[in-house]
Amino acid sequence: MTIDQREAKIKDLVSSMTLEEKVSQLLHESPAIPRLGIPEYNWWNECLHGVARSGVATVFPQAIALAATFDEEFVRQVADAISDEARAKYNEAVKRNNRGQYWGLTFWTPNVNIFRDPRWGRGQETYGEDPYLAGRIGLAFMKGLQGDDNEHLKVAACAKHFAVHSGPEKLRHEFNAEVSKKDLFETYLPAFKVLVENGVEAVMGAYNRTLGEPCCGSFFLLKDILRGAWQFKGHVVSDCWAIRDFHEHHKITKTPEESAALALRAGCDLNCGCTYPDLVVSCQKGLATEEEISAALERVLRARFKLGVFDEPKDDPYAALDGAIINCEKHQRLALEAAKRSIVLLKNDNNLLPLKDDGSIRKILVMGPSAANIHALIANYHGLSSHLVTILEGLVEKTHGRFDITIDYHQACKMYDQNHNMGWTVGMAESADVVIAVFGLDNAMEGEEGDVIASDCKGDRGAIELPDHQLAYLRALKNRGKPVALILTGGSAIAVPEDIADAILFVWYPGEKGGAAVADIIFGGTAPSGKLPITFPASTSQLPPYEDYAMKGRTYRYMVEKPLFPFGFGLSYTTFSFLGVALSEKTLSKGGSVKVAASVANTGTGDGDEVVQLYIVRDDRTEDDPASSLRAFKRVSIPAGKQALVDFTLESSAFESVNDAGESVLLPGSYTVIAADAAPLAVSVEKGAAKPVCAKITVA
């Protein structure tokens, strides 16, 4: 079907519907209209790190872990595998006349909100705290889902939650996010803009209000910015039951028909929830028009046509995808590789890791509540797999057949219940050569409102420190004098004393093959190469008030205190050195570009991957400007003793600043281009990162 034929068919369908039929198609549960050949369709589907909630699927590492790979092409491969499984599930379901929830082709992924505060339980769903990184990783994921042809979608991606949304979870249905125009356009919106400019099919509104307007009924966000300034052509969907919040919690409207009319007129096309049936009453009362309903309907029908829902099977380019590809061996290997690339080595005193294979390690003691815990693998919005490998299972499998090594395990303490600690097991460390302590968080401790049974903050964390009883156990364990390798699971920053272990690996929620990946790194099969997509503050006291959406004091760009670990940080089993950075130009004007060449050497004894990160600093910046801003990154593999020249091109827009009016401006003056493997703070070098190198350029 050509685009012209499609558009004509859409208009014909809309003109043939009654008002009630039109309204029925603007709900996430859209009923069939047999007389017009319109099948039933359920819009609600999730694939944050694998197809979720519809049975077996490959469970990849959580989104925040994918961001830790700092690898756009690899993330796109992951999303491509996910969309293959999504299409296969849809094909098989339709054959069996199953058109229910979680079996469609419209996926409410990715989450490109900024992880501004590590207490937010849903921060694990994002790509971190930096708007550039979130935009690039989000775009790669979107491209893997949708494919390259925006008129013939593989599946439909959705950028959420628009906009300025990152907790508190317990207040999200009534909260008003107050934010400056500078912070809005400098931090909260750029990732959304990148996806919109590159053809994302859907945008989901947030639960909260922003600057006084409910996000799913915001004329400023949806009309002025999204459809106005950005010229968005896709469809807008509400978060689930968010429109009901207008009258029940935000108190912006008084009745369901007023709420439905407000959302529709602002530009929300599709209602996940139960309020849009009242659009019929809205029309009768003159609050909305049938023309506005028809315009929204055209947009949602267009999405279904672009997905081929109305095509004959012979015209479907994805018809050959069937159940055989779901959680296939190739995708399992990809999940394993994703977990390996995401794991971050935060500390490695005396090169404790990888464990030596020289006969010195005879007894390994594995301890901790995350070791045998599948909830520390699967995160939230997860699928299910019969191939889940816990960290304990991975370590045991790695030592299978090693009759020179004894491995023992004790849970040590409960994950979040301080009343059931096995304090007596601490003494077992005295007979071990090394202790592998697996502690941290799981998906019962952080996540979305209503899904998290062990959070007293509706899914958020009240403090970012490791739970007191876990910390006490670890302290007692370390005091036994044996080497301790600490493995931390979780989806957000965890503040731990630096002396709590000799080595620290942060493994996120690593997916179905997480245990195998951790074991491979512990025993040296793979060198760790993940980088932190978020800053790890030293304590909760370093954070501004949680409900304050101003960026001052937050993230590496505005934080003034010394963090525990900086954004972009991550060690390897080898060492790297930046030899220099060269610029092709000494001056730059608007519309121009500069080529950047960073020289990096592997100065250690093992092969490894390094992530070269380019940051921009305006030399005469004010205290309201970012300390530095990530503007490019590239993962490179460098053999031991070898060098690599890593090339980038920076457009003049990379040097732009956002003023108080929210406008991007290119300010003349001197700028510093910094090549580094972590945000350019002294603390990163102190902890083992390479020393950054820099070059100056003048913007005319």
Active site residue ranges: 239, 446
Closest CA to 559 of 544, 575, 569: 544
- Angstrom CA distances, 174 to 208, 213, 228, 252, 278, stand at 6, 11, 27, 10, 22
Calculate the CA 700 to chain-centre distance. 37
Residue 320 carries which DSSP code? T
Contacts of 314 (CB under 8 A, 6+ apart): none
> What single string gives the DSSP state of each residue in 41-73?
EE-----BTB--SSSB---PPPHHHHHTT--HH
Kindly tell me the burial class for residue 149, based on how many C-beta atoms sit within 10 Å of its own C-beta (0-12, 13-18, 19 or more): exposed
Classified as helix, coil or strand, 503 is strand
Which residues contact residue 148 at a Cβ distance below 8 angstroms, ignoring those fewer than 6 apart?
A: none
Per-state percent for the chain, helix, strand, coil, to nearest 5: 35, 20, 45
Contact between residue 570 and residue 633 where contact means Cβ atoms under 8 Å apart: no
Helix (H) or strand (E) holding 74: helix 72-95
Residues 6+ positions from 356 with CB-CB distance below 8 Å: none
Phi, psi of 36 (to 5 degrees): -105, 5
Write b or e for each residue in 349-369: b if 16 or more Cβ atoms lie within 10 A of its Cβ, otherwise e: eeebbbbeeeeebeebbbbbb
Which tokens in the block code for residue 51?
Answer: 């197809």
